[in-house]
Amino acid sequence: MGTASQGSYRIMGRPDWGPEPDLLQHPQTLSGGAVVLGPVRLKRHELISANDRLHWTRRRNRNSLIRARAAQTWLQAHQQPMETARCDIWVSYPDQHRRDLANLSPTVKALIDGVVSGPAGWRNFNGILPDDSDQYLEGPYLHRSKRYPVTAGVFTFQLVFTPLEGLPYE
């Protein structure tokens, strides 16, 4: 088992899933068949935070933008779809302020929707998984990353999908 000082992470009593992927290098597939998607870069005004109180049209527009960027990232990866997977998302913040990762859950949901079912309104999109329900997807688990240089106002997301044997909750 690794420790945080060695760059690995441990989630809720689960086994050590290894170190944070080196996101600056670009192998799209890690050992064990894990697929790295991204980086997806979003400016603060493009995010959807759990603390935001947006009008429904502004929220819908942001959701569509995030889904489109995530779908584009999946299409550029040229990887094979998976049957079931675990999803880890590494978030790099634009500054060193204290933050609550859970507030990014609406943005993360839009990212997952984008790589699974494509931009809103698209039909016949072959995403990374058949569906984003618990039957096919374990997670997403959010982690704070410090790999990317700080860019003022830009949040960076890296999605790592690790194939699972069988269904996650059998």
Would 140 be classed as within a structural domain? yes
Q: How many domains does the chain contain in total? A: 1
Written as tens digits, the pLDDT of the chain (170 aa) is 333 333 333 333 333 444 455 544 444 556 678 888 988 999 999 999 998 899 999 999 999 999 999 999 999 988 889 999 999 999 988 887 888 889 999 999 999 999 999 888 788 888 999 999 999 999 999 998 877 667 788 999 999 999 998 665 55
Angle at CA 155, nearest 5°, toward 94 and 138?
A: 130
Is 92 inside any structural domain? yes
Most distant pair of Cα atoms in the chain: their distance: 46
Residue 4 lies in a domain: no
Q: Does residue 11 fall inside a structural domain?
A: no
Backbone angles phi, psi at 12, to 5 degrees: 40, 50
- The per-residue pLDDT for 108 is 96
* Cα pseudo-dihedral 106, 112, 118, 121, rounded to 10: -30
CATH number, domain at 100? 3.30.1330
SS (H, E, C) the chain: CCCHHHCECCCCCCCCCCECCCCCCCCCECHHHCEEEEEEEEEHHHCCCCCCCCCHHHHHHHHHHHHHHHHHHHHHHCCCCCCCEEEEEEEECCCCCCCCHHHHHHHHHHHHHHHHHCCCCCCCCCCCCCCCCCCCEEEEEEEECCCCCCCCCEEEEEEEEEECCCCCCC
**Structural domain harbouring 51:** 37-163
- 45 occurs within a structural domain: yes
pLDDT at position 17, please? 43
3 falls within a domain: no
